[in-house]
Every structure is written in structure tokens, then in C-alpha cells.
């Protein structure tokens, strides 16, 4: 895996061009998504490219991961409805995936986006699914993240003891994981819970632990958020000068990181601290600045906080008419937060319903492609098996033929050996007859006269006895091979034999 932190746009584009030259495969999709993640999620074109390739090649896991990333990027832009839509579409593709990590991350992301829409009940449901899967996978890093998310659900529902339980459990895992960033998150969350529980000493201890870690990790975003929480802590304690000091540190950091929700919150709370110090003009400016930012990003919680701050401001300057108007506006916004949950849920579900058929079509095509690939693989294996079987059969028959041919050769060799043996014996007899000083050589004509052989047949028989082949007899007697065969046939009949060996045996007797 390559890292791009701190690298310039030209370098990122260069790597993108290298990836572009790759064939369209799952690896190319994964690299594009990884490149966007390592580019701080600032390249939506990478994600769109990855999504389109994943759809073209029916890479279901890739489609799911691309939609999940689109959901995360939408959340960064405070478009939480769109974020939920993308995460739910991602989950539809990842639901049967073997990639449990991607599914856990998607479930966790969905929980975060639902919390931003104040839909704590739905968020809690998806967090529990993520927790169950993370435990089954024994993924302690993801378990810690999900526990932290559940803790935030209970902050929103103002069930602080439950929130504290989950944050401390998450913190325990983060120590086991040796993850300082996760420890920092939990320290900050525990500190925030203690603020709401009015246990200020405990809150200060945990918030300073979080701030120290954020400085070590060079996390400007978290330093800004922790300064915001310390500002809230000292405001609640009544130390308004210290509160303003921390908000003065938090605001420029949060503005630099474009974390508008916390920027709005910091302005409004700094205004309340100034209001407590009777700096009415400055307080009014800060509160209105916070409301303006909150309206821009449609942060209902901060808008409600801002109008409640205006109520206190108008009461402090004795403008009760405007105080009443601000109170009505604050109540209306507070009530709308409850209604907006239902509304957003309806909008999201409607969008998901409209895209469901399209996503199901992609999944069906992917399934058909997978079946075709499996069938092709089976056919290929059958072809290999048949070819292997055919080769084995051919080898068997070749070996059988070779064995039979070898046996024939051995039989012929044995017969030739026997013939040569008989020929030698005949020669030995002839030599013995010569050694006996016989006045005349034994004439085969006399010995074979009882068999009624013709002269030519006797000539052929003599040559057979001397070991000549049919071709040699034909050449020696100046006759054709067929004539030789005919004479031999007649000899066999008259001597009552079947082959040359029996002829020689007959002559020996």
C-alpha cells in the first residue's frame, strides 16, 4: 500500500494515471478507492471512476465500498440525508459479502449519519449490527469504534450513565489496541459526559488528557474540538473568562478545518459567556454569528441553542417582546428536530426504494455472471478430465501393443534359436558320417524316397535343412517365391509336418 499524506496534487494525479493504465479489474477499483482515501477524500472523480468500473465488471464488493465512500464524503459536506442514502445502498451490496471489515465500516458510518439526522433509534440498531459482526470477526479496532458510536447515541438521548459505560468500554479496547487516536476520542467524549453530569473535576481531567494527546498527534481538528469542550466546561462552571479564552483558541482552529458545526457552537457559547460578563454588544454579535453559520449548514441543534441564547440576551437587556419571539422560534425549531427525524427517514427510504430496483438488477447480473464463470470452470475441468482420461487410455493401449509386439519378437527369436540348433545338429551328423569314412555320402533322396518327394522338393528340403530362407531358396534355385512356398507346402503334406522345425526333427530321425 502506498501513502500520499503530504504529497502534492501532481503526484496524486501521476499515480492516478498509472492506475488508469491498468485493465478494469477489482484490483483497479480497490486502488482508486484507496487513492481517494489517502488523498483525504478530496477526489470524488476517483470514486465515480471506481464505481463505474465496478458496475461494468459486476464487482459487487467494489460497488458497495464505492457507495460507502460516497456516503462518507456526503457527511463531510453536512449532507446527511444523501449520506444515509449512499450508506444504505452500500449495505445492500455488502450484505452477502465475505468482506466483513467493509460491512462493519459501512454499518458504523450509517450509524454516524443517522445520529446527525437525530435518528438515534435507527442509528442504535445499525451500531448493534456492526458490534455483533465486529465481535464475530474478533476485530478489536472496529469494536472500539462501534462502542464509541453507541456512546454518542446515548449522549444525544441524554442517557449519560449509559454513554459513560460505552465510552469507558471503548477506551479499554483502545488501550489494548495501543491506539492513541482512539484513546483521545474517548477521553474527549467521557469529559463531555462529565460536563453534562456536572462532575466538572472529572470532566477537566479527561478533557486535558484528550487535549494533550491531540497535540502529540498533531491533530488540529481535535485540538479545536477539545478547546471547544473546555470552553463549555468553564462556562458551565461559571468561569466565563477562562471559557472565553478556550473559545478564542477553538474558533480559528475549527474555521481552518472547516468544521462549521463546532464553529457555530463555539460562537454561540462564547456569546453566552460574554453575556454573563455583561458584554452585551459582543455577546449579541457572537450569538447571531453562530445562528447565521448554523442556518447555513442547517444545524437544527445549534439554531435552537442560538435562539435560546437570544432569549437570555433579550431578557438581560429587558426586551421581553423580542425575548418571547426568540423563545417561540427556539421551541418551533426544537419541535422540528423531532419532526425532521421522521421526514428525513421518509425521504431516505423513498430514495432507497427508487434505487432498489436498479441495484437489484446489478446484483442479479453479477449473480448470472458468477454462475456463468462457475459453469465455464466446470466445463473446463470436465475437458481436462476427459483429455487426461483419453491420454491414459492411449498410453495403456500403447503399452499393451508394445508388450504384445515384444512377446512376438521373443517367440520368433526362440523359434529361430531352435532352428539354428537343429541345423547345427544336422551338420554334426553329417560331420560324424564323414569321419566314419563312409564310402558314400548318405543321400537324402534314398532316405526320403518313401515320402514320394519330387527332385525339386528334395532340393528345396536340402536348402531348408541348411538354414536358407524362402527368399534365399528362390534366389539359389532361380525360381519365384510363390513356387518356393508351393514346394514347401507339398513337403509339409508329404512329410506330415506343419513347420520347418518338425521337418528338421523328421530328417534327424
DSSP codes joined into one string, 266-318: HHHHHHHHHHHTT-HHHHHHHHHHHHHHHHHTT-HHHHHHHHHHHHHHHHHTT
Whether pLDDT at 6 is above 50: no
pTM strictly above 0.75: no
CA distance linking residue 95 with residue 200, whole number of Å: 44
Q: By C-alpha distance, which of 97, 96, 137, 132 is closest to 111?
A: 132
Helix (H) or strand (E) holding 94: helix 80-94
The three-state secondary structure class of 346 is helix
- Tell me which residue has cell 419532526: 339
Enumerate the domain spans of the chain: 444-508
pLDDT band per the 50, 70, 90 thresholds, residue 474:
very high
- Tell me which residue has cell 488523498: 39
pLDDT digits (tens, 9 = 90+) for 211-246: 999 999 888 888 999 999 999 999 999 999 999 999
pLDDT digits (tens, 9 = 90+) for 58-108: 999 999 999 999 999 998 887 889 999 999 999 999 988 889 999 999 999
pLDDT digits (tens, 9 = 90+) for 152-193: 999 989 999 999 999 999 999 999 999 999 999 999 999 999
Q: What is the DSSP string of 56-77?
A: HTT-HHHHHHHHHHHHHHHHHT
Q: By C-alpha distance, which of 50, 142, 126 is closest to 88?
A: 126
Taking every pair of Cα atoms in the chain, the longest distance, rounded to a whole number of angstroms, is 173
- Tell me which residue has cell 463531555: 192
CA distance linking residue 193 with residue 185, whole number of Å: 12
CA distance linking residue 236 with residue 201, whole number of Å: 12
What DSSP designation does 498 have?
S
CA distance linking residue 289 with residue 271, whole number of Å: 9
* Fold annotation for 444-508: Arc Repressor Mutant, subunit A (1.10.10)
3-state helix, strand, coil in the chain (%, to 5): 85, 0, 15
Q: By C-alpha distance, which of 188, 153, 191, 146 is closest to 169?
A: 146
pLDDT digits (tens, 9 = 90+) for 385-438: 788 877 888 888 788 777 777 777 677 667 666 666 666 766 666 666 555 444
Percent of the chain at pLDDT above 90?
57
Q: Do the Cβ atoms of 333 and 118 come closer than 8 Å?
A: no
pLDDT at 112: 94
Q: Please, which residues have CB within 8 angstroms of residue 198's CB and are 6 or more apart in sequence?
A: 236
pLDDT at 399: 81
Q: Do the Cβ atoms of 416 and 408 come closer than 8 Å?
A: no
Residue scoring higher pLDDT (345 or 22) = 22
pLDDT band per the 50, 70, 90 thresholds, residue 350:
very low
Amino acid at each position: 500500500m502506498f501513502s500520499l499524506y503530504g504529497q502534492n496534487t501532481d503526484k496524486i494525479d501521476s499515480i492516478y494515471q498509472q492506475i488508469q493504465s491498468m485493465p478494469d479489474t477489482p484490483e483497479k477499483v480497490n486502488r482508486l478507492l484507496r487513492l481517494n482515501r489517502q488523498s483525504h477524500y478530496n477526489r470524488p472523480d476517483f470514486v465515480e471512476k471506481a464505481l463505474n468500473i465496478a458496475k461494468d465488471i459486476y464487482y459487487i464488493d467494489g460497488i458497495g465500498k464505492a457507495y460507502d465512500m460516497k456516503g462518507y464524503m456526503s457527511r463531510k459536506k453536512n449532507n446527511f440525508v444523501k449520506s444515509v442514502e449512499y450508506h444504505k445502498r452500500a449495505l445492500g451490496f455488502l450484505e452477502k459479502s465475505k468482506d466483513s471489515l467493509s460491512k462493519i465500516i459501512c454499518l458504523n458510518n450509517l450509524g454516524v449519519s443517522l445520529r446527525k439526522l437525530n435518528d438515534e433509534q435507527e442509528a442504535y440498531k445499525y451500531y448493534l449490527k456492526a458490534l455483533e459482526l465486529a465481535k464475530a470477526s474478533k476485530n478489536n479496532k472496529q469494536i472500539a469504534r462501534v462502542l464509541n458510536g453507541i456512546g454518542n447515541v446515548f449522549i444525544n438521548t441524554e442517557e449519560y450513565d449509559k454513554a459513560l459505560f460505552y465510552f469507558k468500554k471503548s477506551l479499554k479496547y483502545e488501550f489494548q489496541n495501543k491506539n492513541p487516536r482512539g484513546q483521545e476520542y474517548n477521553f474527549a467524549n467521557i469529559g463531555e459526559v462529565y460536563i453534562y453530569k456536572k462532575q466538572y473535576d472529572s470532566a477537566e481531567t479527561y478533557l486535558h488528557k484528550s487535549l494533550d494527546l491531540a497535540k502529540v498527534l498533531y491533530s488540529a481538528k481535535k485540538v479545536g474540538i477539545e478547546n471547544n469542550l473546555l470552553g463549555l466546561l468553564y462556562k458551565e462552571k461559571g468561569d466565563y473568562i477562562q471559557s472565553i479564552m478556550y473559545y478564542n483558541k477553538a474558533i480559528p482552529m475549527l474555521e481552518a478545518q472547516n468544521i462549521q458545526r463546532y464553529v457555530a457552537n463555539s460562537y454561540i457559547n462564547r456569546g453566552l459567556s460574554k453575556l454573563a460578563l455583561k458584554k452585551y454588544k459582543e455577546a449579541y454579535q457572537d450569538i447571531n454569528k453562530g445562528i447565521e453559520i448554523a442556518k447555513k449548514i442547517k444545524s437544527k441543534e445549534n439554531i435552537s441553542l442560538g435562539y435560546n441564547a437570544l432569549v437570555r440576551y433579550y431578557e438581560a437587556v429587558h426586551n421581553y417582546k423580542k425575548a418571547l419571539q426568540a423563545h417561540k422560534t427556539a421551541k418551533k425549531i426544537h419541535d422540528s428536530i423531532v419532526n425532521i427525524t421522521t421526514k428525513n427517514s421518509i425521504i431516505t427510504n423513498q430514495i432507497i426504494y427508487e434505487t432498489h430496483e436498479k441495484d437489484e438488477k446489478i446484483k442479479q447480473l453479477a449473480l448470472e455472471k458468477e454462475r456463468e464463470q462457475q459453469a465455464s470452470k466446470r466445463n473446463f475441468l470436465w475437458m481436462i478430465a476427459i483429455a487426461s482420461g483419453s491420454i491414459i487410455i492411449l498410453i495403456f493401449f500403447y503399452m499393451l501393443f508394445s508388450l504384445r509386439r515384444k512377446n512376438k519378437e521373443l517367440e520368433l527369436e526362440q523359434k529361430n534359436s531352435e532352428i539354428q540348433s537343429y541345423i547345427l545338429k544336422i551338420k554334426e551328423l553329417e560331420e560324424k558320417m564323414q569321419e566314419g569314412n563312409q564310402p558314400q555320402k548318405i543321400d537324402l533322396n534314398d532316405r526320403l524316397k518313401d515320402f514320394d518327394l519330387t527332385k525339386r522338393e528334395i532340393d528345396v528340403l536340402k536348402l531348408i535343412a541348411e538354414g536358407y530362407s524362402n527368399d534365399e531358396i528362390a534366389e539359389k534355385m532361380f525360381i519365384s517365391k510363390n513356387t518356393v512356398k508351393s514346394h514347401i507346402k507339398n513337403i509339409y503334406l508329404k512329410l506330415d509336418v506343419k513347420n520347418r522345425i518338425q521337418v528338421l526333427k523328421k530328417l534327424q530321425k
